[in-house]
Amino acid sequence: MDFYKFLSQNSLYVVLFVVLIIWAGIYSYLFRLDRRLRRAEDQVEKHHHER
Amino acid sequence: MEWWKIGVGIWLTAVFAVALSFPIVPEPKHWYEFPVIPGLEERARIIFFHVPVAWTTVVAFLVALWNGVKYLRTMDLEADAASSNSAGLGLLFAVLATVTGSIWARFSWGSFWNWDPRETSIFVLLLIYGAYFALRSAIESEERRARLSAVYAIIAGVTAPFFVFIMPRIMTGLHPGSRGDVQGSGPVVQFHMAPNMLLVFFAALIGFTVLFAWMMEIRLRTSRLELHFMNADSEQS
């Protein structure tokens, strides 16, 4: 309850949470994209060796 | 996963947290307080976001220039892919810098768009790189497209630092750091910022640059896969 009160009086921290959530979303997107790409590269590499 | 990719996540999280949570007070007494910059007040925090984004734009356009030179020397299509990918990311960051600057301008100058020298110069920069992609999509032949856009990326890349760093600074204008701007804004450019702000500012510059490097690496590896499949296709046919 006090936490909500604190946030409503210090709206800067609301902005902080919004920014951190957006950043977490973008970061995890990049992270997973990187991992998927690595898997695709590995498969191409494997395929290349098999031929 | 390489260590620097995890590092940039932690680094930028810390930068954002500090940039948005340190209070701005008239007379800072602690290391965790930012001083008030007259005329900017709470809006001064944009410097930790908007300026690094604009900085990354220039870095990206210079990387595009560098890879343009590399293409002309080696005629390697991978250098062309690097050049166009970098220009693309530069354009993305330029749009972000324009939009964030415009929102900020609404509350600092009273209007979203004032044709201030800074706004005019980024507008011209957007046109220049918009034309780059128009040029690329207009040419069918890969080699020809690569050669022409390499030359274009070199010429355009030379203008980028001028439009971002020099032109808005030698003209009088509304943007912080313009000529004749003694108050608040001057310190930003002459690095007379409070040491703790300066530290966070440079940390943000480094963080955004590394983030760009990561995005660039992902795009390059995608292009490499595309080139690989294109070559495989042409071998088959």
Shortest CA distance from A21: residue in chain B: B13
**Cα angle B96, B2, B219; round to 5:** 40
Percent of chain B residues topping a pLDDT of 70: 94
**Nearest chain B Cα to A44, which residue?**
B225
- Decide: helix, strand or coil at residue B38: coil
Domain parsing of chain A, residue ranges: 22-51
Residue B28 lies in a domain: no
pLDDT values of chain B reduced to their tens digit, one per residue, 237 residues: 789 999 999 999 999 999 999 988 888 888 999 988 877 888 889 989 999 999 999 999 999 999 999 999 999 999 999 999 999 999 999 999 999 999 988 888 888 998 988 899 999 999 999 999 999 999 999 999 999 999 999 999 999 988 888 887 777 777 777 766 655 444 445 556 788 898 999 999 999 999 999 999 999 999 999 888 888 888 776
Nearest Cα residue in chain B from A33? B218
**Distance between A36 CA and the closest CA of chain B, angstroms:** 10
Contacts from B59-62 at CB under 8 Å and sequence distance 24+?
A: B59/B90, B59/B209, B59/B212, B60/B86, B60/B87, B60/B89, B60/B90, B60/B93, B60/B212, B60/B216, B61/B86, B61/B87, B61/B90, B61/B129, B61/B153, B61/B156, B61/B157, B61/B160, B62/B157, B62/B160, B62/B161
Q: What are the chain A neighbours of B225 within 8 Å (beta carbons)?
A: 37, 40-41, 44
In a domain, B31, yes or no: no
| Pick among A27, A28, A51 to test the B interface (most B CBs inside 10 A) | A27
**Which one of B5, B16, B225 has the shortest CB-CB distance to A40?**
B225
CB contact under 8 A, B20 and A19: yes
Task: Give the gap in angstroms from C-alpha A6 to the nearest C-alpha of chain B.
Answer: 13
Question: Is B34 part of any domain?
Answer: no
| Segments forming the whole domain that contains residue B212 | 3-19+40-232
CA A7 to chain centroid, in Å, comes to 24
Q: Is B12 on the interface with A (CB under 8 A)?
A: yes
Contacts of A12 in chain B (CB under 8 A): 20-21, 42
DSSP E strands: which ranges in chain B?
24-25, 34-35
Please tell me which residue of chain A has the smallest CA distance to B9: A27
Which residues in B lie closer than 8 A to residue A20 (C-beta atoms)? 13, 16-17
pLDDT attached to residue B185: 47
Cβ contact, residue pair B225, A30, below 8 Å: no
- Whether chain A has a CB inside 8 Å of the CB on B230: the answer is no
Domain tally, chain B: 1
Chain A residue numbers touching B16 (CB-CB < 8 A): 16, 19-20, 23
The verdict on ipTM greater than 0.95 is no
Q: Which residue of A has its CA nearest to B214?
A: A30
Does B20 contact A12 at a Cβ distance shorter than 8 Å? Answer: yes
Q: Report the C-alpha gap between B89 and B84 in whole angstroms.
A: 9
